[in-house]
Structure 1
Amino acid sequence: MRVSVALFTADLRVYDNPVLQAALRDAERVVPLFVVDTGIRRAGFAVPNRAAFLADSLADLDAALRARGGRLVVRVGDVVEETCRVAAQTGAAAVHIAGGVSRYAARREDRLRVALAGDRRELRVHDTSLTAVPPGVLRPAGKDHFAVFTPYFRRWESFPVRGVLPAPDAVRVPDVRSAGLPRTESLASGATSAGPMSPGLPAGGESEARRRLRSWLSGPLAAYDDQHDDLAADATSRLSPYLHFGCLSVTELLHRARAQDNPGARAFVRQLAWRDFHHQVLAARPDAADHDYRTRHDRWRRATRDIEAWQDGRTGYPVVDAALRQLRHEGWMPGRARLLAASFLTKTLYVDWRVGARHFLDLLVDGDVANNQLNWQWVAGTGTDTRPNRILNPLVQARRFDPHGEYVRRWLPELRHLDATTVHRVPRLDEATRAGLDYPPPIVDLAEAAERFRERRGAG
């Protein structure tokens, strides 16, 4: 009886899962394996919000496998040691895994390959599980990756993406020991994140992902091009956590969005391309997770009080504060809010992008190294942005993307009694007028901050 192992990482689903399907084709019995990896904890990614989402997702995956006659096998420890142990115990000839792009994923893959080969077993890596277009496939002449999005997108659009795979009808699992399904508390053990779990977290798992997918495709997607930057409309898909954990396949999402062929769908597809773009950048430049992709020789400010005010949503600029408070409450925020928050920290306060990226990773349910770190670098001007010195003015941005002040009032209860005009004027109110508000004065003058940034970036 031939056995193979399907090692789940960031692909916690049964629909359109190349790793699971390949393992099933390869053998009569398959071990669907998830290792609660102690190395992830040491690397600082075991934070409460993602731990809660992961616990939901693993329970849902186990239920989906049981509905097909199988189950999820769970082990706790070093991912390489536990995977090799399971392979030896079941006599598996091969282990299947999705190809990752981070340094951690690359090292895990290298260690697995060597360890399995030493036991005369094979590691089979599938590079179409986590992105629509495999990292490294599209390359400009003479280079190993695209550093600018637009030419990458032109090539990406015409790439023949693989078809969508069905969920298996049956999964037969050999007799092998399994730990119990992990709970949030155990997954978040040793978490580096400060503060409790966000109260407004979404439910994790493939079932919830597919419910949200159906809802998104049934109507809101068509208006995405007009409304995705409207902060009050909450008109983005909110599918990013499910893509991050692989509860939803980006390839399936791409095919189903393209099938609608309307302006909203085309704008949404472009965002999926950005996700692939960042993955191919990180695959080629893994150090970009914590080093400048393009250094500007910045001498960042060590502004502890300003950083704390930004983290707490008490900067005195309502749209920035609303974004940071939404992040703390939901573990999520829309793309436009992320841009505003990041620009304010890196350009207005002139604080190192790594400080903001770490805060986001401490709270974001969709905290993804490729997307988070490289988006932060894009905003900071140390990444792939072709206009590295642009500054987003929070007052202008608020009037443009929250014209009626609804988003601000939703997240700043102390300002709910103000009308739209007054909400946007709060940073410019005099001290006497502000006295009745339980809201701080601006921690920085925008004109002075812009001049400071130009001087320091220029000096760098």
Structure 2
Amino acid sequence: MTVSIVLFTSDLRLHDNPVLCAALRDADRIVPLFVYDDGLRATGFAVPNRRAFLADCLEDLDSELRKRGGRLVVRGGDVVEQVRKLAKETEAVALHVAGGVSRYATRREERLRGALEGSGCRLVVHDAVITAVTPGELLPAGKDHYAVFTPYFRRWSAAGVRDVVAAPRKVRVADVSSDPVLPRAEITGVSPGLDTGGESTGRRLLRAWLSGGIAGYEDGQDDVAGDATSRLSPHLHFGTLSAAEVVHRALREGSSGARAFVRQLAWRDFHHQVLAARPQSAARDYRSHGDRWRTDKKETAAWLNGRTGYPFVDAAMRQLRHQGWMHNRGRLVVASFLTKTLYVDWRVGARHFLSLLVDGDVANNQMNWQWAAGTGTDTRPNRVLNPVIQGKRFDPDGSYVRRWVPELADVPKRYIHEPWKLPDKDRARLDYPDPIVELTEGRARFEQARGV
């Protein structure tokens, strides 16, 4: 009897999982393995919200495997050491794993290759499992990646996405021991409004999205109060949904909303190919402007706690803390405010987002923060988003602000994004701060620092 190991990482699903399907073809039995990796805990990436969502994902994955005659094998410790031990124990002929682009993922691949060398267990790395198109597959002439999204998107659209593979009907698992899955209920510090994880939930959300909301996405994607978004980003991050399958099914829907949604999925691939080519961009400026960032603990604390005095910024920051998620328009506005109005280092914001976001992904989080800060791929690096104008445009009646900033619940519409303009007697009754900085002052300071 031959055995192959499937190392689940960011592909916690049975549908459209080329890693799992290849392992099943490769041997008589498989070991569907997930390792609670000490290395991820050491990097600080295993924060409560993602650990809780992960617990849901693993429970669901185990349940779906059991329906097919299998089960999930869970181990704790160093991922490479656990794989090495399991390969020796089962005399595995192959280890199958999805390719990744972060420094951690590429280092893990290198360590696995070294640990398995000469063992009789070959390492098989599968591309286009985490993304729709393999990072590095599409290259401009003479360069190692696309630095501008529009030409990348043209190539991405023309190249097409790989075919979707069916979920296995039967899974034959080798007899090995397993640790228990950590229940979500035992994880502390989780945001109270965190969504549920798992492939079953992700597929249910996808069906609902394709049958309803996606058609209106082009017009409604920035409606922060209506929240006319898919909410699929955590499932794409954990791989409970396949990006390739989502692209195929969205394009079959055929509406202009579906095409606008697919464009956002291409942005996800774009950031992965940037990080694959420039891994140092996770921590260093992709395009430096020689910024001498300010350090103001009081202003930064106000931003972190949603007490800046700018209602749209504060609403988004409070949504993040409560749900472990933030509307994309909110992400753009709060990032611009921190980096350009307060002129605080984008890494401060990126770390805070990664401490709470359930969809916290190194490629998209870091590269989006750099885009907002003007140190990334934005072709207009000095643009500044005015939170008052953004609020009036994308939350015109103030419903989003009133939901997340209840201190302003009774403020009339005309003042909801500028409460400092209220008559003095009404303003005095508010338990809400004055703006921590004048927008004109912040912009002038930023432009002077950048030499604009």
Q: Normalising by the residue count of structure 1, what TM-score does the alignment of the two structures yield? A: 0.97
| Pairwise CA distance, 1:118 | 3.3
1:8-47 alignment to 2 at 5 Å? 8-47=8-47
1:72-111 alignment to 2 at 5 Å? 72-111=72-111
Distance in 1 of aligned mates of 2:185 and 2:361: 21
1:1-400 alignment to 2 at 5 Å? 1-184=1-184, 196-400=189-393
AA aligned to 2:431 is: D
**Which deviates more from structure 2 when the two are superposed, residues 302-311 or residues 422-431?**
422-431
Distance in 2 of aligned mates of 1:204 and 1:245: 9
Coordinate RMSD, CA, aligned: 1.2
1:435-446 alignment to 2 at 5 Å? 435-446=428-439
**Which deviates more from structure 2 when the two are superposed, residues 75-84 or residues 159-168?**
159-168
Paired residue secondary structure (1:324) = helix
| Pairwise CA distance, 1:185 | 7.4
| Pairwise CA distance, 1:430 | 6.4
Distance in 2 of aligned mates of 1:187 and 1:22: 34
Distance in 2 of aligned mates of 1:184 and 1:71: 19
Distance in 2 of aligned mates of 1:42 and 1:186: 20
Distance in 2 of aligned mates of 1:429 and 1:340: 23
Distance in 2 of aligned mates of 1:433 and 1:349: 28
Paired residue secondary structure (1:30) = strand
Distance in 2 of aligned mates of 1:370 and 1:27: 34
Distance 1:181-1:242 versus aligned 2 partners, 3 A rule? same
AA aligned to 1:135 is: P
CA deviation map 1:415-436 (0-9, x unaligned): 1112211212214446554211
CA deviation map 1:229-259 (0-9, x unaligned): 0111110000000000000000000000000
Distance in 1 of aligned mates of 2:175 and 2:395: 57
Distance in 1 of aligned mates of 2:159 and 2:218: 23
**What is aligned with 1:414?**
407
CA deviation map 1:327-371 (0-9, x unaligned): 000000111010011000000000000000000000000000000
Paired residue secondary structure (2:34) = strand
Distance in 1 of aligned mates of 2:282 and 2:148: 18
Distance in 2 of aligned mates of 1:54 and 1:417: 39
Unaligned runs of 5+ in 1: 189-195
Distance in 2 of aligned mates of 1:416 and 1:184: 33
AA aligned to 1:132 is: A
Distance in 2 of aligned mates of 1:373 and 1:296: 17
CA deviation map 1:31-83 (0-9, x unaligned): 00000000000011010000100000000000000000000000100000001
Distance in 2 of aligned mates of 1:451 and 1:128: 44
AA aligned to 1:246 is: G
CA deviation map 1:263-321 (0-9, x unaligned): 10010000000000000000011110010000011000001111110010000000000
| Pairwise CA distance, 1:119 | 1.6
Paired residue secondary structure (2:225) = coil
Distance in 2 of aligned mates of 1:27 and 1:180: 26
- The question of whether the paired residues in 1 share the 8 Å contact of 2:91 and 2:121 is answered with no
Matched, 1:402 2:395: yes
| Pairwise CA distance, 1:182 | 2.0
Distance 1:298-1:24 versus aligned 2 partners, 3 A rule? same
Paired residue secondary structure (1:158) = helix
Distance in 2 of aligned mates of 1:168 and 1:260: 25
Distance in 1 of aligned mates of 2:449 and 2:439: 15
Distance 1:338-1:168 versus aligned 2 partners, 3 A rule? same
**What is aligned with 1:448?**
441
AA aligned to 1:101 is: V
- The question of whether the paired residues in 2 share the 8 Å contact of 1:357 and 1:372 is answered with yes
Paired residue secondary structure (1:118) = coil
| Pairwise CA distance, 1:458 | 1.3
- The question of whether the paired residues in 2 share the 8 Å contact of 1:36 and 1:187 is answered with no
- The question of whether the paired residues in 2 share the 8 Å contact of 1:13 and 1:247 is answered with yes
Distance in 1 of aligned mates of 2:20 and 2:374: 40
Distance in 2 of aligned mates of 1:455 and 1:317: 23
Distance in 1 of aligned mates of 2:390 and 2:42: 39
Paired residue secondary structure (1:259) = helix
AA aligned to 1:8 is: F
Distance in 2 of aligned mates of 1:280 and 1:302: 32
- The question of whether the paired residues in 2 share the 8 Å contact of 1:55 and 1:187 is answered with no
Distance in 2 of aligned mates of 1:427 and 1:443: 12
Paired residue secondary structure (1:200) = coil
| Pairwise CA distance, 1:121 | 1.7
Paired residue secondary structure (1:12) = coil
Distance in 1 of aligned mates of 2:160 and 2:92: 33
- The question of whether the paired residues in 2 share the 8 Å contact of 1:29 and 1:172 is answered with yes
Distance in 2 of aligned mates of 1:44 and 1:292: 21
Distance in 2 of aligned mates of 1:297 and 1:186: 45
| Pairwise CA distance, 1:161 | 1.4
Query: Percent of aligned positions with the same letter in both sequences?
Result: 65
Q: Normalising by the residue count of structure 2, what TM-score does the alignment of the two structures yield? A: 0.98
CA deviation map 1:203-246 (0-9, x unaligned): 00000001100110011000000000011111000000000000
